[in-house]
Chain A
Amino acid sequence: ETGVTQSPTHLIKTRGQQVTLRCSSQSGHNTVSWYQQALGQGPQFIFQYYREEENGRGNFPPRFSGLQFPNYSSELNVNALELDDSALYLCASSSGLAGVYEQYFGPGTRLTVT
């Protein structure tokens, strides 16, 4: 059984640029959630995708968007990057809606915005 994987591991971008982060869910899981974790803080829920549709969103602006593909892998896109977007981005997969089912987390993508 393959766990949750994320790519890339690290990324450096410039303010104003756009970034795409990728997540492969665990086998058999149909839900992917994305989180932002600033240094020294707890994870903040961005949104979750259940069977290719967004189903639940935290307090993040529309420049944070996502996709889920038929194989249930997912992308997180962030437009117009700001310095405060520097954080660890975590992806988690589950066999149903996050919040009802347990989630399995990937190791994260460290994004630095300069």
Chain B
Amino acid sequence: DAKTTQPNSMESNEEEPVHLPCNHSTISGTDYIHWYRQLPSQGPEYVIHGLTSNVNNRMASLAIAEDRKSSTLILHRATLRDAAVYYCILSHNAGNNRKLIWGLGTSLAVNP
């Protein structure tokens, strides 16, 4: 079964870059990689997603390994508001059944 593996927690200092890793060695060719984050008592918030190429948006960058078995979410300058649980998700297509497989998430702490 497809799955993602993330570190349980990470820590960063404010205004420094943060690299959040995700392992998805069981990824298939049509599986998208998504990242969402969740603050306490809120629904998850979209961060970024990609298929094969690296992606950039106003929130973050997504670096996808050449073999696609791992990826890294990059927050270029962490702020206190970036403290959240970050989820790496595979959008896995099995036949006509597209499932979204969420990891356990990385809890990011940002120090002032």
Interface residues in chain A, defined as those with a beta carbon under 8 Å from any beta carbon in chain B = 4, 33, 41-45, 48, 55-58, 90, 92, 97-100, 102-108
Contact = CB atoms under 8 A, between A and B. Distances in A.
A33 B103 CA distance: 17
Size category of the binding interface on chain B: 20 to 34
Closest 8 pairs (CB-CB, A-B): A99-B91, A105-B43, A56-B98, A102-B46, A45-B100, A42-B102, A42-B105, A99-B98
B103 A42 contact: yes
Nearest to A56: B98
A56 B44 contact: no
Interface of B: prevailing SS: strand
Interface of B: 32, 34, 36, 42-46, 49, 85, 87, 91-93, 96-105
A97 B32 CA distance: 12
15 contacts: A41-B104, A42-B85, A42-B87, A42-B104, A44-B102, A48-B98, A55-B96, A56-B100, A97-B98, A99-B32, A102-B34, A102-B49, A103-B36, A104-B46, A107-B42
Given A42-B104, A99-B32, A99-B91, A105 B45 contact: yes
Contacts of A105: 43-45
Given A33-B100, A43-B102, A55-B98, 18 more contacts: A4-B43, A42-B85, A42-B87, A42-B102, A42-B104, A43-B44, A45-B100, A56-B97, A56-B98, A56-B99, A58-B99, A90-B44, A100-B91, A100-B98, A102-B34, A102-B46, A103-B44, A105-B43
A98 B91 CA distance: 8
Contacts of A99: 32, 34, 91-93, 98-100
A107 to B, nearest CB: 6
Given A42-B103, A100-B32, A106 B49 contact: no
A45 B96 contact: no
